[in-house]
Amino acid sequence: MPKLVIVNSTPLIALASIGELDILKSVYGQITIPVAVFNEVTVKNGKVADAIKSADWISVKEVQDSESKKMYKAKLHAGEVEVMILAQEMDADVVIIDDNAAKKTAEYLGLNAVGTMAVLLKAKEIGSITEVSSFIGKIVADGFFISSEVIKIVKDLAGE
Contact, 132 vs 154, CB < 8 A? yes
What is the dotted CATH code of the domain comprising 5-117? Answer: 3.40.50.1010
Residue 117: half-sphere exposure toward Cβ, Cα within 13 Å: 22
pLDDT digits (tens, 9 = 90+) for 8-31: 999 999 999 999 999 999 999 999
Q: Report, as an integer, the average pLDDT of 60-64.
A: 88
pLDDT confidence of 77, banded at 50, 70, 90? confident
Q: Which of 1-10, 23-32, 34-43 has the lowest mean pLDDT?
A: 1-10
pLDDT at 74 over 70: no
Q: How long a stretch of residues is the chain?
A: 160
Contact, 9 vs 41, CB < 8 A? yes
Task: Put residue 44 in one of left, alpha, beta given phi > 0 → left and psi -120 to 50 → alpha.
Answer: beta
pLDDT confidence of 1, banded at 50, 70, 90? low
Q: Does the reported pTM lie above 0.75?
A: yes
